[in-house]
Amino acid sequence: MKKSFTLIELLVVIAIIGSLSALFLPNFMAARERARDSQRKSDLRQIQKAFELYKQDQTPTAIPLALPTINVCWSSGANCSGNIYMNNFPADPLGTAYAYVYTDTLTYSVVACLENIADPDGATCPVIGGFTCASPKKCYIVNQP
């Protein structure tokens, strides 16, 4: 006589696996959101440093009106020559560009929407250069130091 699992035993195991995955999946998704938010914050601090390098090399009226192209080298010369500000200009982890605006020749803001609304570094999202985050999301904003 062959020994095998009964249909009821298989259904019980499937139900247990399903309920365990239902418990752990939201925690896993929240961890991924926090990881993407950490990447956004790091990217914005790197962009801030690159803007400060750029401003040191330019006259105040030469500050760019728009972000450089994402995933492309940003430098003072063509084909990544001259002073290199960023080797690979970052994009949001979900693939969109970060919002950027300058208010006068000396100040700027770079903004990213945070997925985790409980993030302590998040702020209420202002409308910056036509950019805003959908409610109830928070923004991470980097201004000129």
pLDDT at 82 over 90: no
Residue matched to tokens 């998704």? 29
What pLDDT, on a 0 to 100 scale, did the predictor assign at position 143? 83
Q: Judge whether 68 lies within some domain.
A: yes
Question: Does residue 35 lie within any of the structural domains?
Answer: yes
Q: What is the pTM of this model?
A: 0.74
**Residue 1 falls inside a structural domain:** no
**Which residue type sits at 55?**
K
Q: What total of structural domains would you count in the chain?
A: 1
Token readout for 89 is 């200009």
Distance from C-alpha of 125 to C-alpha of 127, rounded to nearest angstrom: 7
Average pLDDT, the chain: 82
**What pLDDT, in 10s, does the model give residues 25-68?**
777 778 888 999 999 999 999 988 888 888 887 766 666 555 67
Residue 26 domain flag: yes
Q: How far apart are CA 112 and CA 132, in angstroms?
A: 9
Range of the domain at 35: 8-143
Note whether residue 3 is domain-resident.
Answer: no
The answer to whether residue 85 sits within a structural domain is yes
Please, which residues bridge with residue 143 across strands?
Answer: 109
The tokens of 125 are what?
A: 């999202």
* Residue 105 confidence class, pLDDT cut points 50, 70, 90: low
Q: Is 115 domain-assigned?
A: yes
